[in-house]
Amino acid sequence: MSLLAYGDTGWGDELFFATLMTIAVALAALLIGFILAAFFSTLKLSKNKILNLIGSFYTTIFRGVPELLVIYLFFFGGSGAVMYVAKIFGYDGYIEVNAFLTGAIAIGIISGAYSTEVFRGAIQSINRGQFEASEVLGFKKKIYYYKIIIPQMLRLALPNISNVWQITLKDTSLISVTGLVEIMRQSYIAAGSTRDPLFFYSFAAILYLFLTFLSMQLFNRLEKNYSKGY
């Protein structure tokens, strides 16, 4: 237990901040994913075939290729792209891109591919009559989407959003390969320096279980709240 002491003697505080980091990356990734999903689900739902194709291209690739490979692409590609730009301006050296940003973007793009499908499914499951009624009442497209379609959509999408969140949360463990100090990386460091991998990886598993349990409770509450009128 002394291994988990808070302060210089143990790993308690390090692991606590690592947990916060995991939550921060996961939230940032989910948000990036939502923004991408809002965009790509509109593409997928549009009547234009080329736009449809672009949308399908995005979801197929990022749901079909391993997360780790995508992370490597952004980890090595990210600094490469920045270095390329820097070279144009005459700077010739190695630049390391912020690990948090690369991680959040990489996981966000993957999470966005799942969210796109969730959003698309939710919009499609809304009765056509709702769209027609909004139009008949003279609402502008922008307004009725925000005031009528999206609130209904959120209720239907919530269980699936919960799934996407769980996937995103677990995927953040893969960012540890880029050196960002989240739960997995911190456990790796602690396991290496104390030579007690069994303890620290078990503890990491408990932390993840705790996070997934907590978010499940939260989503159950949200679901209850959103389905009040039904």
Site residues, other proteins (CB under 8 A): 60-61, 64-70, 72-73, 76-77, 80, 170-171, 173-174, 176-177, 184, 187-188, 191, 195-198, 201-202, 204-205, 208-209, 212-213
Residue 153 or 191 having the CB closest to other proteins: 191
- Rounded CA-CA distance 228/212 in Å is 25
Residue 94 or 230 having the CB closest to other proteins: 94
Residue 202 or 225 having the CB closest to other proteins: 202
Residue 31 or 177 having the CB closest to other proteins: 177
Residue 54: both structure tokens together = 């672009």
The least CB distance from residue 22 to other proteins, in Å, is 10
Choose among 32, 164, 166: nearest CA to 109: 32
Residue type, 138: G
The least CB distance from residue 202 to other proteins, in Å, is 7
The least CB distance from residue 177 to other proteins, in Å, is 7
The least CB distance from residue 175 to other proteins, in Å, is 10
Choose among 174, 8, 187: nearest CA to 104: 174
Residue 190: both structure tokens together = 């602690």
Q: Kindly give the residue spans of alpha helices, DSSP state H, lying in 67-127.
A: 67-88, 99-124
Element (H, E) at 185: helix 183-194
